[in-house]
Structure 1
Amino acid sequence: MPLVTLTVRKPKTSAFKTQVLDAVHQSLVASGVPETDRFQRVLELEADDFRYDPGYPDLQRPRTEDFVLIEILWSVGRSVKVKKKLLTDLMQRLQQAGLDPENVMVAFKETSWENWAFGGGRLLHAGD
């Protein structure tokens, strides 16, 4: 169950946020995540509350006001190969949607399976 957090500067249109979130979800599905496993949130912050360097570490073009930070929290165990494939797929989808991949930062966060309680407080993947 990936939990996707999109952080952007205000103001962003609903269409902009939807394009990014749809691209992330489609890339996750292409990497093996079930289609119905969609949990996403958006943090839309004032410029003073979302600060970033325009060029770190080696961007081809400086970041703009449309910079997006995508955090993907998922269960541990995906290989670097899977992550690279997901990133390639995601950047292609975002570029097709008109977004500059240089304006996108992705952070993968991993947790063990027993740290997910999907509903009702049930730990489905935990032993006793």
Structure 2
Amino acid sequence: MPLVTLTIRNGKTASFKSSVLDAVHRALVASGVPETDRFHRVLELEGDDFRYDPAYPDLSSPRTDDFVLIEILLSVGRSVKVKKKILADIIEGIAHAPGLDPEQVMVVFKETAWENWSFAGGRQIHV
């Protein structure tokens, strides 16, 4: 039940956005998320509205306008091992297509309790 938010600078192509989101989705599916459980959104911001340090904490090359922030909201219960695998799969996928330097990718996992999800009609299917 992940909700994926991709935040990028304005001006990226539809192909770029799709490639990033496809890589994230493949990684989530590989971890056990159903193929049809795809809820993604893209936030495109102007430079003044998307600010970040070019080097924090220890990048080997500075962040550029290609920097992407991927937030994955998911239900609690996944182990650190599973999250590390998802992260590795995302980075591998994004490096392949759209060919993004892994130093330009920040991923944040956010967890919420199962009872905080209602997909439609006010039904909570996991409580």
TM-score bracket, shorter-length normalisation: over 0.9
Give the corresponding residue for 1:95.
95
* CA distance in 2: counterparts of 1:107 and 1:51, whole angstroms: 16
Letter of the structure 2 residue corresponding to residue 100 of structure 1: D
TM-score (norm 2): 0.98
Give the corresponding residue for 1:111.
112
Name the SS for the 2:59 alignment partner. coil
* CA distance in 1: counterparts of 2:23 and 2:91, whole angstroms: 9
> Percent identity of the aligned residues?
74
Query: Which consecutive residues of structure 1, in runs of 5 or more, have no partner in the other structure?
Result: none
TM-score (norm 1): 0.97
Give the corresponding residue for 1:48.
48
Query: Which consecutive residues of structure 2, in runs of 5 or more, have no partner in the other structure?
Result: none
Give the corresponding residue for 2:12.
12
What is the number of residues matched between the two proteins? 126
CA RMSD of aligned residues (A): 0.6
Name the SS for the 2:95 alignment partner. helix
Letter of the structure 2 residue corresponding to residue 76 of structure 1: V
* CA distance in 1: counterparts of 2:83 and 2:125, whole angstroms: 25
Q: CA deviation at 1:124?
A: 1.4
Letter of the structure 1 residue corresponding to residue 111 of structure 2: E
